[in-house]
Each structure stands twice: as C-alpha cells, then as structure tokens.
Amino acid sequence: MAGDVTLLGFAPAAGAEALAAAMAALPGAALHQVAAGGVVAFAEAQVERPRILLLARDRARLLAALAATQRRLELGTAAGPFLPADPGAAPLPLARLPGLLAPQAEALAAALAGPGATQQWDVILRWPADPVLNAARARLAGLPRARMAEAVRAELLAARAAREAALRAALAPRVLAIAEGAPVAEELAAGFTVQVPRGGEAAIEAALHALPDELTEGVGADLRGPLPPLAFAPVRLMELAPDALAHAWALLDLPEEVPTPRLALHWRAVAARLHPDRGGDAGDFAAAEAAYRLLRGLAADGVLNRRALAARGPTLLLPEAA
C-alpha cells in the first residue's frame, strides 16, 4: 500500500510545525503534512493490519498501531484547535490529499474555530456495593435465600440508575453535548462521554460538585481526557457514490443546481411534509434528514451542482458547529 495514508486530522497552519515534530517523535507510522490556505492536514502512512488475527503477535501489532494513532490524536487535541479525522476513514493515496484539501480549506478553518476548539471527556463514577446494600438492609431482611441474589442485584441496578440520572442532569446544562453510548458498563459504575470547550474541565468539576450528597457516599470520580472529540466532531472521508447522490437529490426534490442557502428551504419543506407528527413515515423522514446532512456537508462552494459533485471523487464531510 505504498503511497496510501490515513488522515489523522487538521490544525491551523500557525504552530503546525511544532505539532508535526511532536507527533513524529511518538512511536508510529511515518507522518505526512499537506498545507492549504491556513490549514494543515496531518496523515500517517497506512499500516497493514492483518485480516485474521489468529496469532498473538498479530493482535499485539494491531493494538500497537491503534494506540499510536490514538496518542497522536490526543496530542493534537491537547496542543490547540484540532479537528480529528474518523479513524475508520478509508485509506487515501497521499497524492490526492492536496486536491481534497484545497477546495475545503476555508470551511476547515471555520470548523477549527468551532468544533475544532472542543474536547471530549469520559466522566465515570464508581462506588462500592456496601453503602448501597447497607441502606437497603431493611428491605432485604427476611427475604428467602432463593430471592436474595435477585433482590441484591435489583438494589444495585436501582442505585446505578439513580446516579446515572443525577449525573446526566448535572452535566446537561454545563457541557456542549452528551454522547449516546456510555463509556462504562458495570453494575457499580455510571458515566457519560461529554463534549466541552477547550479547557472546559471546570464545567465537569462543577457538575460533579452539584450531585446530591445522598448519592455520592463512597463515590469516586474518574475523568479521562482531554480526548479528541471523535464521538461528536470528527471529519469523515467519504467516496460519494453516484446512486447515493441521486437518492439524496430526489429525496429533497432539488433542481440540478441549487444555491447553498436554498438547500435548507428545500429541507424544511420536505420535513414539514414527512414529519411523523404530521402523519408522515418516520423512516422516510429519517432518510430525508440524512440526505440533508450529507448535502449540507458537501456545500462548501456556495452552490450545489449534482454533476460537479458526482465528478468530485472523495470528499471531506465536516462536523457541524457545537
């Protein structure tokens, strides 16, 4: 796969040389930079990853490659504004990267000032079982042995649900977003992955201090970050299939060429017609919404032309503003 790279992310040109030197100093594949306008794209040589991981040394090699990429992304996020690329992005020939970057350099610069200035944190609470079970001693007393295990588990699950609800309520007004998936799956732990502005640790600490006292006895907090905001604001590399483009065009009932500002007007009209609250089909509404998000991510030139997009090849889908 000589010449193929995987995108790591994007940073402002100011300070890019220092960031590249720091990334290159970490163990990992060869690092590449491509500049356009005021933005620099970082990529690393594509690492060969075994398809069948039967040998322990193959598994170790795969994990080492992913860990090296993760460390580079974390370094970029900690250093300053940085837009990470989705690690699942397809390989890209290095020679095509300048042509991919140049048309969207201005949009990338704007995204660096918005989503690129955010960070991701895992906020996890853990507690021992004893305080929970001691508080439930009266409810558990006298239960038959056959029911005891089930009752104990129910108490632990109820305690986790209460702490999870309290943590979400405390975080929601203080962070930019909360991811759907939890970063932990344990009976004696609860947590969320959150997006905050750069340097937003104080907001997380304030949320933890706002938790009710009765839910924090013996509770320890584990904060992991700052992490690249991959759950919220990654850049995605996408090869736009002609049939996907045609389908999106038809769903939004667009003319062959449409000014970018009118795209939202078409979407609103379609949304009003298909919304489930107005008798529309939920699946059709979701498909139209996905089509709108796709085309909005491609609208970097002020106008959407179906023929030009079909000939464009790989494109960068940029994150929405937080």
Pairing of strands 236-239, 177-178: unpaired
72 lies in the same domain as 88: yes
- Read off φ and ψ for residue 261, nearest 5 degrees: -60, -25
Nearest Cα neighbor of 117 from 226, 243, 191, 6 is: 226
11 lies in the same domain as 106: yes
What amino acid occupies position 250?
A
Q: Is the pLDDT of residue 274 over 90?
A: no
8 lies in the same domain as 108: yes
| Mean pLDDT lowest among 45-49, 114-118, 253-257 | 45-49
223 lies in the same domain as 167: yes
100 lies in the same domain as 82: yes
Pairing of strands 314-317, 220-227: unpaired
Answer with the one of 113, 147, 170 that is the final residue of a domain: 113
Cis peptide before 50 (omega within 30 of 0): no
Count of structural domains, the chain = 3
Answer with the one of 113, 147, 165 that is the final residue of a domain: 113
* 322 is a domain residue: no
> What contacts 216, CB < 8 A, 6 or more positions away?
none
127 lies in the same domain as 189: yes
pLDDT tens figures, 37-90 = 899 999 998 866 544 444 445 556 655 667 888 899 999 999 989 999 987 766
> Distance between CA 43 and CA 29 in Å, rounded?
9
Show the domain range for 8: 4-113
* 55 is a domain residue: yes
Q: Is the pLDDT of residue 134 over 90?
A: no
- Read off φ and ψ for residue 120, nearest 5 degrees: -115, 140
pLDDT tens figures, 181-235 = 889 888 899 999 999 999 899 999 999 999 998 888 889 999 999 999 999 989 8
> Distance between CA 38 and CA 200 in Å, rounded?
26
* Contact by Cβ (8 Å): 167, 190: yes
**Alpha helices (H) along the chain:** 16-25, 56-79, 97-101, 105-113, 129-135, 137-140, 145-171, 201-209, 242-251, 260-274, 282-298, 306-310
245 lies in the same domain as 187: no
- What does the pLDDT read at residue 121? 96
28 lies in the same domain as 50: yes
202 lies in the same domain as 151: yes
pLDDT tens figures, 90-106 = 678 888 889 888 888 88
* 52 is a domain residue: yes
- The 10 Å CB-count burial string (b at 16+, else e) for 268-283 is eebbeebbeeeebeee
Measure the N-to-C terminal CA separation of the chain; round to a whole number of Å: 36
> What pLDDT band is residue 133 in, cutting at 50, 70 and 90?
confident
193 lies in the same domain as 142: yes
* 54 is a domain residue: yes
* 175 is a domain residue: yes
* 235 is a domain residue: no
* Contact by Cβ (8 Å): 102, 195: no
* 232 is a domain residue: no
> What contacts 217, CB < 8 A, 6 or more positions away?
127, 131
250 lies in the same domain as 293: yes
Answer with the one of 54, 79, 113 that is the final residue of a domain: 113
> What pLDDT band is residue 251 in, cutting at 50, 70 and 90?
confident
144 lies in the same domain as 92: no
* 233 is a domain residue: no
Nearest Cα neighbor of 7 from 80, 101, 81, 74 is: 101
Q: What's the CATH number where 212 sits?
A: 3.30.70
Q: What's the CATH number where 300 sits?
A: 1.10.287
